[in-house]
Amino acid sequence: MFLGIFTGIEVLFFLLGVMTTLALGSLIWLKLSHDIKPGQLSLFGIGLLVIIAGIAWSVSSVLEGEPQAGSMGMMVIILPSLILSAIGGRQVFNGLRQTA
């Protein structure tokens, strides 16, 4: 991937900004277009934001030369947040099914 003069950390923060914008935009869209309860939406949103934080932790650790810290971030931060977002996503999907 050719990105010119940008370093790895600059590309990381750009992609984190894009992912955060998409995550928050999708949560706002779900809230405004469908009548989803805030508890269901917050569980899903917390899971997404923790995934983004785990990606930031892991990639920045590898860029700084600490691959073991990156692996720890994948296992300790991202895996539980995947479970959390899957549970929240299931609740949101059930809420969508009930409103339709």
The radius of gyration computed from the CA coordinates of the chain, to the nearest angstrom, equals 16
CA distance 64 to 58: 10
Q: What is the mean pLDDT of the chain?
A: 89
Q: What value, to the nearest 5°, has the Cα angle with vertex 76 and ends 71 and 80?
A: 130
Q: pTM for the full model?
A: 0.84
Amino acid at 54: G
Encode pLDDT of 43-72 as tens digits. 999 999 999 999 999 999 998 999 999 999
